[in-house]
A and B are shown apart, each in its own frame.
Chain A
Amino acid sequence: MTTELFTGAEMVVKALSALKVKYIFGYPGGSILDLYDAIFQQDEIEHILVRHEQAATHMADGYTRATGKVGVVLATSGPGATNCVTGIATAYMDSIPMVVLAGQVPTTLIGNDAFQETDIVGCTRPIIKHSFNCRDLSDIPNIIAKAFYIASTGRPGPVVVELPKDMLIPQNTAPFSIETNVNIRSYNPNIKGHPKQIRKAAKTISEAKKLVVYSGGGIVLADASQLLTTLVETLKAPITNTLMGLGGISGTHENFIGMLGMHGSLEANKSMANADVILALGARFDDRVTNNVDKFCPNATIIHVDIDPTSISKTINAHIPVVGLVDIVMQQLLDELNVINFSPDEEALTEWWQQIHLWRDMRSVSYKQVAGEKIKPQRVIEAMYKITNGEAYVASDVGQHQMFAAQFYPFAKPRQWINSGGAGTMGFGLPAAMGVKLAFPDKHVICITGDGSIQMNIQELSTCKQYNLPVVIITLNNRSLGMVRQWQDMVYGGRHSSSYMESLPDFCKVAEAYGHIGIKIDTLEELDSKLEEAFSIKDKLVFVDVLVDEKEHVYPMHIRHGGIDEMWIKKGVKA
């Protein structure tokens, strides 16, 4: 009997099929052409051709954030691979599982400064969960299976697989075998929380008078929002979400006190500062949350649940660390609360909630729209929320529009809010929205962006045309780099150094040139009707260019170097 032999390129495709991959996002080039040839000769996996490799990573990323499935990126060696670096860093910072297959020059040329040679494994080392060099083509299937396993388990993250050209060419073949049940002796992520820590945590929670639940992106990644809601309702406690955690509990849930952090609500930040117990679930005490760590929540006992031990006590010391998967730990906590016959201290709760309502009454997340004046950006988000019944997927770019969307679009479900929280990557929004639309063609998918961010990957309007991805792009156009300008107003004496976007294009005409529809909105009167018109068009991409008030700042905002609850609640007004 003769064993069937395969080229490395065929093995890559077979391995991806075995792992049930539907889409690959990429761009061809010299060293990876054999793989493109193998993709051409099969029907199971569809390749989406972007216009820039950075967009391929963000598109895969958006697809992953919306579906939970590992996104796959394909790029050629050299510049193709280095163009992926920003997208890999973006996924890394937000713990998004991703597998990047990068071409490489043949092994015989590695180290020779060959044409389109870059050490991509070296370039990406600080921004990946793991990476693989391939030096024997029969290893390819198991390397890919391991890459998927590592990317998607434990704390998820991107994995880079480098494929030298001589591993893929037709002249070299080997038998195919793949072990999809991966076992790696040096990699065994903790799953269950330590029972002793669970007991400690439950006891501390049961004795709390001013408990706050603070949850982050880990809830979304673990699909644990149902369990979180049950836990919060059992505890009857206030809950705040990080920017990455929005949708972890419904934004309209009565226990939800808003986002916390730099642009979070006053009631969320005040509650944290005054809490006696903080239950942190899948959140990492990022500097955009804590403000000055030396002044952070001085009276709180901190219970920190995270899958990644390095996140615990990195910036803020945890009194009760619990390492484990957040959904499993929450279930353990609920069981333990049951065992100790937990019932909330109603008297303390009433007092605590009364206090929180007083903070809420200050209406820190608000704005003032005067008829006849320029459109306020927040007003656009509210209109967008109304028209889509709060059910749209919203992929955001980075800047003021991102914060306005986070504040004024209460997300009902996890995975609805797609944004680059950790890396803050401008240019993320459009390709991410495209990835979401590909997964959910029948849903409203919005790219909320600004006149700065959209131009960082505007070439993808062409990809949208090719694959018929009718996302709705809403540009809050303030003719400036709004967040930069805001800081310059507040910290740099109003000196607007390079924060103007002079010579902006006519975005509607740009959209039309790519074969889409452009709608311009510059008065309040036409805002609702024109937005409705935009959302009524289902089969074509609509680019909505909304001219908004360039002087509007994002409030509330942390006072620099202050405690978590020291905030500006409007221009010149401290809380």
Chain B
Amino acid sequence: MRHILAILLENEAGALSRIVGLFSQRAFNIESLTVAPTDDNSLSRITIATIGDDKVLEQIVKQVNKLVDVIKISELTDRKHVERELLLVKVAAMGDKTRTEVKRITDIFRGSIVDIGKQIYTIELTGSSEKLNAFIETLSNETEIIESVRSGCVGIARGEKAMRV
């Protein structure tokens, strides 16, 4: 099962490598990982999407928590939450028909075209990982995908509860 974990940790040299090292050392799976400093610059926030059964997830949460740099970890997928991922994709856009159709699909998915060339469009899209998957699939039926990059998902819990020091 897929789980999204939010980790709050000290923004220190080597902290990220401890997290990544732990996952490979203990053969835990990483589907995606994003990291950036928070509004409090002494802290970083990591979002990891991982796959595993309940027993594996319990170990992941405990093992991550055990790292000295880690302040908090919580699973987002077992509660109401918002999750978003950013996609940038460069597609072949040659001929009026293709250009129109790509523009139409982009509008339907509420994406935007952020760069135009004689033969390409670069499209930006934000949403859940599934939405991004669906967009790519739809696009690839229409034209050739030249390059794509995804941010990996970030997430935050709904409601009053906040993850802070």
Contacts and interface: CB of A to CB of B under 8 A. Distances in A.
Contacts of B21: 125-126
B14 A186 contact: no
What band does the interface of chain B fall in when counting residues whose beta carbon is under 8 Å from A? 20 to 34
B63 to A, nearest CB: 5
B9 interface: yes
A150 B68 contact: yes
Contacts of B10: 186
A332 B68 CA distance: 27
A186 B63 contact: no
A185 B68 CA distance: 9
Interface in A180-233: 184-187
Contacts of A129: 68
Given A125-B21, A126-B25, A133-B13, A184 B68 contact: yes
Interface in A281-302: none
B41 interface: no
B59 A310 contact: yes
A186 B71 contact: yes
A66 to B, nearest CB: 27
A505 interface: no
Contact of A122 (B17, B59, B70, B71): B17
A313 B61 CA distance: 13
A7 interface: no
Interface string A390-416: 000000000000000000000000000
Contacts of B71: 185-186
Interface in B59-77: 59, 62-63, 65-66, 68-71
Nearest to A125: B21
Contacts of A125: 17-18, 21
Interface in A86-132: 121-122, 125-126, 129-131
Interface residues of A, number: 19
B162 interface: no
A133 B13 CA distance: 8
Nearest to A317: B55
Interface in B1-56: 9-10, 13-14, 17-18, 21-22, 25, 55
Contact of B68 (A130, A133, A308, A314): A130
Contacts of A126: 21-22, 25
B149 interface: no
A133 B70 CA distance: 17
A309 interface: yes
Contact of A186 (B55, B59, B69): B69
A164 to B, nearest CB: 13
B71 to A, nearest CB: 5
B66 A313 contact: no
A274 B58 CA distance: 29
Interface string A124-146: 01100111010100000000000
Contacts of A308: 66
B20 to A, nearest CB: 10
Contact of B165 (A122, A185, A309, A314): A185
Contacts of B62: 309-310
Report the 9 A-B pairs with minimum CB-CB distance, sorted nearest first. A130-B68, A310-B62, A126-B25, A186-B71, A125-B21, A309-B62, A187-B68, A310-B63, A310-B66
Interface of B: 9-10, 13-14, 17-18, 21-22, 25, 55, 58-59, 62-63, 65-66, 68-71, 165
